[in-house]
Amino acid sequence: MLQTEAFEKSMLEKGASRNTLSSYRSDLSLFAAYCAEQDYEDPAELTGEQLSAYFEYLRSIGKSPATVRRARSSLSTYYTFLQKEGLTDTNPVRETKLEKSPDLQQTPQVLTHEEIDRLLDYDFGSDEKGLRDKAIVELLYASGIKISSLIALRETDYQPQTRTIYAEGRRVPLYPSANQSLLNYIRLSRPYIALSEETALFVNLQGSAMSRQGLWKMLRHAADAVGIDKNLTPRLLRRSFAVHLLENGAGPEDLEKMLGLSDKASVAGYVKLMKDSETIDTYTRFHPRAAKRH
């Protein structure tokens, strides 16, 4: 029997969005029906092999690759919940792999709004590393800045009073939850891990400036944890930031301003991505999370 109510309550307490909760509910309902059909008395005891068979079953009944990936993400989150509750020793979903859809590389990838919700709703943890990683992911999607710009940030580049960071030669606004995540990191994490002489805003656990490799490794781990099969990089988050702004009504001129672009061809490329993608003051108006108050 699935612990659906307790799971949803846990996700609500962690601030999961309404859309994310709806997805969890739908995915777990389908999984519960499958378990009943297979006479699985306790889903908490299922193995990675049995879950792989479930994902194959979803494909066999015509579920799209995106739906199967979402189902895997939901179950991974659910089994992590069971682990924390002491109802299972392992997360068997992590033993499963999904085949890449051959059409994923035809055009540059963009994260869907649901994938963004899953990523930003993910529980990175309340320790120093978790607070840092949460702040980095929120900041990348909130600002659309490049990896080199994020690594170059200094503590003094952040202005909590105006909810902005100074990057790439301009002041970049932050939506509320991104600003709060950055504040949490600066107050509750960075003072305990940064070397006294280090001026970089984001530091590794040894106290020195964060590296590209460390950042990419963290993003890959987060993508795996929430079931995102796309190659999660700062560039993908920047691209998703741009496309989602356009989807919400921003114009090319707004995009130039918010991304600091001077190349018209780059803006045109983002506009084309918006039209081709499956997810078919300015910042507050257009950023999809600007109105959220977590």
Catalytic positions, written as ranges = 238, 283
Q: Find where tokens 């257009």 sit.
A: 286
Q: Could you tell me if 159 and 113 are in contact, meaning their C-beta atoms sit under 8 angstroms apart?
A: no
Full strand arrangement of the beta sheet holding 170-173: 158-159, 164-167, 170-173
What gap in Å lies between CA 53 and CA 33, rounded to an integer?
A: 14
What's the CA dihedral at 235, 119, 227, 7 to 10 degrees? 180
Q: Output phi, psi for 159, to 5 deg.
A: -120, 95
Q: Could you tell me if 7 and 81 are in contact, meaning their C-beta atoms sit under 8 angstroms apart?
A: yes
Question: Residue 103 contacts by C-beta under 8 Å, 6 or more apart in sequence?
Answer: none
What gap in Å lies between CA 3 and CA 238, rounded to an integer?
A: 37
Q: Classify each residue of 150-167 as buried b or exposed e, where b means 16 or more C-beta atoms within 10 Å of its C-beta.
A: bbbbeeeebeeeebbbeb
What gap in Å lies between CA 276 and CA 172, rounded to an integer?
A: 27
Give the HSE-up count for residue 100: Cα atoms under 13 Å, Cβ half-sphere.
8
Residues in the chain: 294
Ramachandran region, residue 157 (left: φ > 0; alpha: ψ -120 to 50; beta: rest): alpha
